[in-house]
Amino acid sequence: MIRPDALEERLSNLELEAPDAGRITARVLSLARKPRRRVLPRVMALGVATLAIAAAVLYFAPAADSALAGTPVAGDLLRDAGLVGAGNRVTAVGAVSTSSGYRLELVGAYADATRTVLLVHTKPAIWLPGYTQPELKDQFGRTYPLGSAAMNGLTGNMALQFGALAWPDGITGARIALYLKVVAPVTCVIARSGNPADDICNMGTPVSGSWTLPATLGIDETTPLALPAPAHAGTAAFRFTSVRSSAATIAIDIDVQGVTVDDLQQRIPDGGKGTAVFDVELLAPTGEVVNASYQTSDDQRGVHIVFWGYRLAPGEYRLHISYRGSDVDRMLTVP
């Protein structure tokens, strides 16, 4: 999270120069140099430009809120969202929206260069119907679809994960809003076994409404880490192209040769759902598995994997890759 004083200092030292063409999203102001222009009019023109830029900064560079307090609700949400290692980097929000008898509170928000996480508490508890999903928008009007969600039908807590906010939110900070149009009530019964996986939950009839939850937050920077050596598992060759870490997330980019996406998604019949032929997981220094998710894609250059894991604390993390009975480990030193 960008502190208000840190953000102000960065903006005061901001050098205005042409950004890379591939990253330009909108052109707001253009100054053309005219060699015969008189000195006084040029100074006045620069003054007007400075005012215009200052006005833009006032709107597009919001100050970040305070850190999330360590309340019981916040604690549960932090664990569900994999934000235990970044509790002091989560922005407290407290925005509330009530519609159709359902009260939704955006308790906190966190964003880094790999993901955006919103921590929501609902009363009564809800589920999100699959045919309609919440949307996240930033101050530039860009929409970010929901990537994944973790919901607790007993507590009404939800952790919603979206993609990374686009440039220049990482420089200016972000003014975002979460929009929901449909929710579904959910009731859960605690299993006698005491195992949460055995709890029984039933979803009710979806309810239409209009919920808007705004927030202002900064974006954590990521630190590049040393790349592990290439690895081989079965016929697959893995080359690590990027490893980055923020206070809460470890992101790993992997290029794979010798297999296709379909090869990696195959399952071996076992009388049930089948056993995956490919798996990748990240283990924290404590030995705890801290996987978030991963995505696979392919093009003419081969298969590409984007993997996200949770950072709990500094230390040695172990990346374990298995493919068709062949296993390989690589260690990551995370500060």
> What integer pLDDT is reported at residue 4 of this predicted model?
41
Same domain, yes or no: 81 and 161: yes
pTM above 0.85, yes or no: no
User: What is the rounded distance in angstroms from the CA atom of residue 124 to the CA atom of residue 184?
Assistant: 10
- Looking at residue 84, the DSSP 8-state letter turns out to be G
With respect to residue 129, please indicate whether it lies within any of the assigned structural domains.
Answer: yes
Of 174, 194, 217, the position where a domain reaches its end is 217
Average pLDDT over residues 274-298: 92
What are 198-224's pLDDT values in tens digits?
A: 778 888 999 999 999 999 999 998 999
Are 112 and 248 in contact, with CB atoms under 8 Å apart?
yes
Average pLDDT over residues 131-141: 90
With respect to residue 13, please indicate whether it lies within any of the assigned structural domains.
Answer: no
User: What is the rounded distance in angstroms from the CA atom of residue 296 to the CA atom of residue 328?
Assistant: 19
Average pLDDT over residues 122-141: 90
Torsion 145-297-82-125 (CA) sign = positive
**Domain carrying residue 89:** 72-217
What are 220-275's pLDDT values in tens digits?
A: 989 999 999 999 999 999 999 999 999 999 999 999 999 999 999 999 988 888 89
Instruction: Tell me phi and psi for residue 276, to 5 degrees.
Output: -65, 140
- List the one residue out of 241, 249, 243 whose CA is nearest residue 220: 249
- Cα torsion through 168, 92, 249, 220, rounded to 10: 30
pLDDT beyond 60 at 287: yes
Helix or strand or coil: residue 53?
helix
What are 138-188's pLDDT values in tens digits?
A: 999 999 989 888 888 888 999 999 999 998 887 778 999 999 999 999 988
With respect to residue 184, please indicate whether it lies within any of the assigned structural domains.
Answer: yes
Are 102 and 211 in contact, with CB atoms under 8 Å apart?
yes
Average pLDDT over residues 116-123: 94
